[in-house]
Structure 1
């Protein structure tokens, strides 16, 4: 993917991807980020290029670099005080997922057991070393990648999954088929940039704009048992919400003038 033409220098694209990871809690505060050599191998480039990107992050105050210890994250994006949940009916989400499933084709990338990224472990309330069922799938629309979805499931709810299942059925249908009841779903949408893994499977350049949808599923006991992270190509995805006024629920945006 590095060979793709782009007007943006490679070191700046690596900086942009690493910055996006940092501000979205990809790396824990107490664990060093991958070394220059590891990042150079990951991005298929030289250590000099990676070093320039990391120096930009250090100059911005997002990481500290210490000889002999490594590079550590020092800051995370501030959470906006306007980040408030909007409550809606879960059936609308399931209808949407069903429609997407009928209009696209699934390609299974992987299915295994292992650790999840720290941000996923924090959301699910499990230890960073917890053993989870992991899968990655690409959805294709009209023969081209539409989305890349990563799933992380507690073994008690996903141990029976097979690659054949994943190639034909929505994940939420699979876990419910095993007897799990979905009581609540928390969904977050954010803009992000393609890292090397996403770029490879979505066939976009590293640093390309993507839409990330994170969904956390709770069972009847309100235990988060399944986390989904879906990356959509920005030019092929639209999220639309219809909002209606509810009778008797009017309110003022600013009631400071009404003592």
Structure 2
């Protein structure tokens, strides 16, 4: 093992390596991953250390351990369908969100009114003291947490939200039902790590890798009215974009 003097426990470092291998498809679904004895020899650690790492992977449902057969990477079905989505405009984004909504279940964590973090206020172009509607939800896929989202909405579009509606309807549908017109959406994606709050609701270890997707929705006057921050488990979410050459838009490198 590298970084012998790292403050991170050895079993957690091995867990991180194995987790990365699973996420990247290093281990085929139809074959058992190496045994505890084989991994122990490979990493030059005790079987107890390997067992602790495997327990963490099992707790995340990344692997399934079967007595007499071995340990296999947990198969993913609906998740892979979501990962194939290519989003290129507002309509395709709404179509994607609709597909996700049909195959998942929502759990409402909180719904309240209050000030948003300074970063959100800056993005929305509002004063830091502006009161917004805040809604936090966990989306479940096949009974497991798939994402943790926080919505910040101007009161004129979110003031009438109810917990029972949040538990069964996509937020974008709710704000449009409230009279909002979505003219434009800006989206950014950032790699990050789970803090204690995200870890609790996504049922993952603190420090686990996450994908943070931020969306800013603009109305017909191109003014932001709704900001969303969604944390996805990095091993369950993939975003794809298809890039095509436009006719008559060839680019030539300059000569020096």
TM-score (norm 1): 0.64
Match of 2:254 among 234, 253, 256: 256
Tell me by how many angstroms 1:88 deviates: 4.1
Give the number of equivalent residue pairs: 175
Q: Write the distance in 2 (CA, Å) between the matches of 1:155 and 1:172.
A: 15
> C-alpha deviations, 1:25-79, integer Å up to 9, x for none?
xxxxxxxxxxxxxxxxxxxxxxxxxxxxxxxxxxxxxxxxxxxxxxxxxxxxxxx
Q: Write the distance in 2 (CA, Å) between the matches of 1:102 and 1:194.
A: 27
Which residue does the alignment assign to 1:182?
Answer: 182
Name the SS for the 1:192 alignment partner: strand
Q: Write the distance in 2 (CA, Å) between the matches of 1:144 and 1:203.
A: 8
> C-alpha deviations, 1:216-240, integer Å up to 9, x for none?
0000011100000000001111111
Tell me by how many angstroms 1:248 deviates: 1.6
Which residue does the alignment assign to 1:197?
Answer: 197
> C-alpha deviations, 1:139-181, integer Å up to 9, x for none?
0111100000000001011111100110011000100111211
Name the SS for the 1:204 alignment partner: coil
Name the SS for the 2:169 alignment partner: coil
Q: Write the distance in 2 (CA, Å) between the matches of 1:237 and 1:185.
A: 20
Which residue does the alignment assign to 1:239?
Answer: 239
Q: Write the distance in 2 (CA, Å) between the matches of 1:99 and 1:251.
A: 37
- 2:157 is the counterpart of 1:161: no
| Structure 2 counterparts to residues 106-185 of structure 1, below 5 A | 106-185=106-185
Which residue does the alignment assign to 1:77?
Answer: none
